[in-house]
Amino acid sequence: MELNNARYTIGGVSVHDIVREHAAPVYVYDSERIVANYHQLKDAFKGVNVKLKYACKALSNINVLKLLKTEGSGLDTVSIQEARIGLKAGFEAKEILFTPNSVGFDEIREAVNMGLAINIDELGILEQFGSEFGSSVPCCIRLNPHIMAGGNSHISVGHIDSKFGISIHQVPHIKRIVKNYGIHVNGLHMHTGSDILDADVFLRGAKLLYDAAAEFDELEFMDFGSGFKVKYKEGDVTTDIEDIGQRISASFKEFCKSYGRELELWFEPGKYIVSDAGYFLVQVNVVKQTTSTVFAGVNSGQNHLLRPMMYDAYHKITNVSNPNGPERIYSVVGYICESDTLGYDRRLTEVRIGDILAISNTGAYGFSMSSNYNSRLRPAEVLVKDGKAHLIRKREKLEDLLANQVELDI
Ligand SMILES: *Cc1c(COP(=O)(O)O)cnc(C)c1O
C-alpha cells in the first residue's frame, strides 16, 4: 500500500475507490506483489533445480491459484478439496502435492486415483499404502527432524511431540516397511513451522534429511517445506531470503554430488508468497472512550481475521481515511461477542466514525481462516491486477448462511 498526495493505493488503485465499489469489509490482494514474492523466493536458489509448491491453505481463491500456475508454481495441498480446486485452476495432478495429516486411508486412495503426488506422514498409513499399491505408486515421506522453529509453539510443528511427520529416529522402521512392500519412495519432506528466522534452522533440518536420504536410492526430490518468516512490523527480524537461498543451494549441491544424482529441491511457501500482498479493509462503526482506553469498533472481527486471537499475531493497522490527522492511541476491536481485539494500543491517525482502516499482511491465513461465527457474513475478496480491482469472491448473503440448514416442521 502506498501513500501519495494524501491518498492510499494498492497496486496503483485507490483504496477509497475499492471501498466505494466493493464496500467494506473486503480483502484486497495485490497480484503484482504475489508474483514478485514468488520470483524473489525462486531466484534466491541458484544453480539448483528448485520447485515452489504454493501452500494454498494460506489463500485458496482460485484466481490466486491460477495466477501462480501462470508463473510456473506447483501446489501444496492438505485436503482433497484443495487439490480439486487446484485441478480446476489448471494445475496438473502431478504438480499437486498432497500433504494431509490424520486423514483416513480413503482420502489417500482418492488422492492416488486423482494422480496427485502423495506425501505420507504416518507409519500405519505407509504400511497400508504399501500393501495396497506396492511399487506401482510412488510416495514421498514426511519426516519430523525434531528441530524447533521459532519460539511460538502454535506454529512449530517439528518438535518431539508434534503430530506431524514420522520421527527421523524411525527411519529404520520406515525402511523395513518400504523394503517389504517394495514402495517407491521418490521424496523426503520436512516442514517445521512458520517461524524460522535464519538459514541455520533450515540447514540443521536439511542435514538430517540428507543423512536419511542415504537410506533411499530412488529419490527424485527433497522437500524442505516452508517456514519463511515475513515482516509484520517495523524492526521485525525476517528470513534473509538471499542468505538462506545461497546457503541451502550450496549445501544441496554438495548433497546431490554425494547422493550421485541431481535431485529437485522443493519448497512449500504460503505466507511468504501472499501475506504482504493482502490488506483487509474494515470500516469504523463506533469510537468508544472508556476509563482507560479508546476503542475503535469496526464492522468485522475474529470471524474474518482470526490470527490476532489465535496466534496473538500483530497486524499493522492504518487509518487510510485520515492520513494527515493527529495521532492518538486506540484499541481496534471487532463486533463479535468475544473480546476480539484486532490491535491493542495502536497509534493511529485520528479515527472517526465511517473511517476505513487497512489491516496489513492479511493475504495469508486471513480469508482462508474466516468463519460465520455470530451468523455474520464472510466478506468479499478483490484482486488488483493490471491496475484494476477485480471482484474475485462475492460477499455472502443471508441465504448462504441458511443454504445447508434443513428446516424441520416444528
Ligand atoms: C502450512 C504449510 C505450509 C506453508 O506454511 P507457510 O508458513 O504459510 O509458508 C507448507 N507446508 C505444509 C505441509 C504446511 O502444512
Containing 27, the helix (H) or strand (E) segment is strand 26-30
- The residue that leads in pLDDT, 156 or 85, is 85
| Closest by CA position to 321, among listed 283, 280, 264 | 283
Q: What local confidence, expressed as pLDDT, does residue 148 receive?
A: 66
**β-strands 388-393, 380-385 pairing:** antiparallel
Q: Are 383 and 366 in contact (CB under 8 A)?
A: no
141 lines ligand 1 (CB under 6 A): no
Confidence check: pLDDT of 356 > 50? yes
337 noted as active-site residue: yes
Indicate the burial class of 339 (C-beta count within 10 angstroms; 0-12, 13-18, 19 or more): exposed
Cell of 95: 504438480
**Helix or strand or coil: residue 318?**
strand
**Domains 2-29+275-402 and 31-271 in one fold:** no
Annotated domain spans of the chain: 2-29+275-402, 31-271
Rg (CA), the chain: 23
Into which CATH architecture does domain 31-271 fall? Alpha-Beta Barrel (3.20)
Q: Which residue has the cell 462475492?
A: 394
Is there an atom of ligand 1 within 6 Å of 271 CB?
yes
Confidence of residue 199 (pLDDT cuts 50, 70, 90): confident
- What confidence tier does 198 reach under pLDDT thresholds 50, 70, 90? low
What are the residues facing 349 on neighbouring strands? 327
pLDDT bucket at 162, cuts 50 / 70 / 90? confident
Index of the ligand 1 atom closest to the CA of residue 157 = 15
Indicate if ligand 1 lies below 6 Å from the C-beta of 191. yes
Is the pTM above the cut of 0.85? yes
The pLDDT assigned to 229 comes to 81
Residue 212 CB less than 6 A away from ligand 1: no
> Is 263 in contact with 221 (CB distance < 8 Å)?
yes
Q: Give 143 Cα–ligand 1 centroid separation in angstroms.
A: 15
pLDDT average, residue stretch 193-216: 83
With 70 as the cut, is the pLDDT of residue 257 above it?
yes
Separation of 397 CA from ligand 1 center, angstroms? 31
Element (H, E) at 80: helix 80-88
Strand partners, 356: 283
Per-residue confidence (pLDDT) for residue 159, from 0 to 100 = 66
Is the CB of residue 364 below 6 angstroms from any atom belonging to ligand 1?
yes
Q: Which pLDDT belongs to residue 204?
A: 87
Asked whether residue 150 carries a pLDDT value surpassing 70, the answer given is no
> What mean pLDDT is reported for the chain?
94
DSSP codes of every residue in 227-277: -B----STT-----HHHHHHHHHHHHHHHHHHHTSPPEEEE--SHHHHGGG
Q: Which three cell numbers stand for residue 98?
A: 498432497
Q: Which architecture characterizes domain 2-29+275-402 according to CATH?
A: Beta Barrel (2.40)
**Total residues found in the chain within this entry:** 410
Would you say residue 155 has pLDDT above 50?
A: no
Task: Tell me which amino acid residue 197 is.
Answer: L
- How does strand 356-359 pair with strand 264-267? unpaired
- Please tell me the distance between residue 271's alpha carbon and the centre of ligand 1 in angstroms: 8
58 within ligand 1 shell (Cβ under 6 A): yes
| Whole-number Å distance between alpha carbons of 309 and 58 | 17
Give per-residue pLDDT as tens, 14-67. Answer: 999 999 999 999 999 999 999 999 999 999 999 999 999 999 999 999 999 999
The CA 272 to ligand 1 mean position distance, Å, reads 10
Q: Work out which ligand 1 atom sits closest to the CA atom of 365.
A: 8
* Candidate from 166, 189, 202, 226 with most ligand 1 atoms within 8 A of CB, to mutate: 226
22 CA to middle of ligand 1, Å?
Answer: 30
Determine whether the shortest distance from the Cβ of 225 to ligand 1 is under 6 A.
Answer: yes
